[in-house]
């Protein structure tokens, strides 16, 4: 038994809006084939690992000191990686884009403010809104899960959001929103527009990014992560690019020394090895297209995806299919519209295991 007085959550003076809430998270099950959280299946190479270890040894010498609160070297590296003439002062970095987004909503959302998203979309957004006391409003995407400026601007006229959140490619649908659409929205609203490009590197044309609009729009924020393309989900590094004033707003709300010295060092090693790490992105892009082709050939519905995952269905009982796959050691995600499941692109071996497990299930499901 755990020492101390026995007290339940119901007896604690929890904030009323948190009563009944569960901690967020996809099941972290120990399975041979994990295709459920859109991770990069390739672990860092021996060479990259050695460089990370050496970098950690170097920072360990000064771990008695606080880290660089401004993470300036890392922000300069990220600016260089993104290109588009960006400077370290255009970049903000935190523990995953989860934390970046919380900084954005802490600074620009809050009581009396509204954030607007387009569903189905990333399931963490309502939690960022709740934690920052921001009103969360959603509007459905078009039937094919795309967005156009008409739909967005109509929603803006109706809900008067302070922050508009556009995810491209969108999670869980993989759907792209063209830069042109983002531009049309920015031209017709005073709201802050956050474009979540967590999966941008996996798209067919990664350089077609909302980053190109930054010189013209001071209220645009482009969010990125090192969790996916850079295979650094465990390192927890997300970042945004925006006008320096937006970065200054994030600096006001962040906790002091929020990004550890180890995190900064590891991220810099990953960026220094970008050609090696991004080479695997090309493989995964192809793996995801092959995966979609195969799913379609089996007769399933597949939502065309530009990310490293896709939605497939429709199943009368998607939970039964999810469970049947799990019984074969393959973990996918039960998320998205009714009847669909989401699967991430993996290694050739993982994709073969997925196909081998799903084939007989489809026949069985009829």
Name which of 228 and 357 has its Cβ closer to ligand PMP.
Answer: 228
Phi, psi of 223, rounded to the nearest 5 degrees: -105, 140
Q: How far is the CB of 120 from ligand PMP (least distance, A)?
A: 11
Q: How far is CA 230 from the centre of its chain?
A: 13
Task: Give the residue nearest to ligand PMP (CB).
Answer: 96
Name which of 303 and 361 has its Cβ closer to ligand PMP.
Answer: 303
d(CA 361, CA 237) in angstroms, rounded, equals 38
E strands present in 184-237: 192-196, 220-225
Name which of 177 and 361 has its Cβ closer to ligand PMP.
Answer: 177
CA distances from 50 to 63, 93, 228, 278 (A): 20, 24, 21, 18
Q: Where are the alpha helices (DSSP H) in 160-317?
A: 179-187, 244-253, 261-272, 274-297
Sites of contact with ligand PMP (CB under 6 A): 38, 96-98, 122, 167, 171, 196, 198, 225, 227, 233, 238
Name which of 98 and 119 has its Cβ closer to ligand PMP.
Answer: 98
DSSP string of 6-74? Answer: ---GGGS---GGGTT-----------SEE-SS---SPPPPHHHHHHHHHHHHHHHTTTTSPP-TT-HHH
Q: How far is the CB of 327 from ligand PMP (least distance, A)?
A: 25
Q: How far is the CB of 28 from ligand PMP (least distance, A)?
A: 13
Name which of 223 and 361 has its Cβ closer to ligand PMP.
Answer: 223
Q: How far is the CB of 128 from ligand PMP (least distance, A)?
A: 10
Q: How far is the CB of 146 from ligand PMP (least distance, A)?
A: 16
């Amino acid at each position: 038994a755990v020492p101390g007085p026995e007290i339940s959550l119901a007896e604690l003076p929890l904030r009323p809006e948190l009563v009944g809430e569960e901690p967020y998270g996809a099941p972290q099950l120990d399975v041979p084939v994990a295709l459920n959280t859109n991770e990069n299946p390739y672990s860092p190479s021996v060479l990259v690992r050695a460089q990370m270890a050496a970098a950690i040894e170097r920072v360990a010498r000064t771990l008695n000191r606080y880290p660089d609160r401004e993470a300036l070297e890392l922000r300069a590296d990220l600016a260089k990686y993104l290109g588009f003439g960006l400077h370290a002062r255009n970049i903000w970095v935190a523990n995953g884009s989860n934390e970046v987004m919380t900084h954005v909503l802490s600074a620009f959302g809050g009581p009396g403010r509204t954030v607007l998203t387009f569903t189905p979309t990333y399931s963490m957004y309502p939690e960022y809104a709740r934690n920052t006391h921001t009103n969360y409003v959603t509007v459905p995407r078009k039937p094919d899960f795309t967005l156009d400026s008409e739909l967005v601007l109509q929603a803006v006229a109706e809900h008067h959001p302070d922050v508009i959140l556009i995810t491209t490619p969108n999670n869980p649908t993989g759907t792209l929103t063209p830069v042109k659409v983002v531009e049309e929205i920015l031209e017709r609203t005073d709201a802050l527009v956050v474009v979540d490009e967590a999966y941008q590197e996996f798209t067919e044309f990664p350089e077609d990014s909302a980053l190109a609009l930054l010189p013209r729009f001071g209220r645009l924020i482009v969010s990125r992560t090192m969790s996916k393309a850079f295979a650094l989900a465990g390192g927890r590094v997300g970042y945004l690019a925006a006008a320096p004033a937006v970065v200054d707003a994030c600096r006001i709300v962040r906790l002091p020394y929020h990004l550890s010295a180890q995190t900064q060092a590891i991220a810099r090693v990953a960026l220094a090895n970008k050609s090696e790490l991004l080479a695997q992105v090309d493989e995964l892009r192809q793996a995801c297209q092959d995966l979609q082709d195969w799913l379609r050939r089996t007769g399933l519905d597949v939502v065309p995806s530009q990310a490293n995952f896709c939605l497939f269905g429709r199943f009368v009982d998607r939970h039964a299919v999810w469970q049947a796959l799990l019984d074969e050691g393959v973990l996918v995600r039960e998320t998205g519209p009714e009847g669909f499941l989401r699967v991430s692109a993996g290694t050739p071996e993982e994709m073969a295991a997925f196909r081998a497990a799903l084939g007989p299930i489809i026949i069985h499901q009829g």
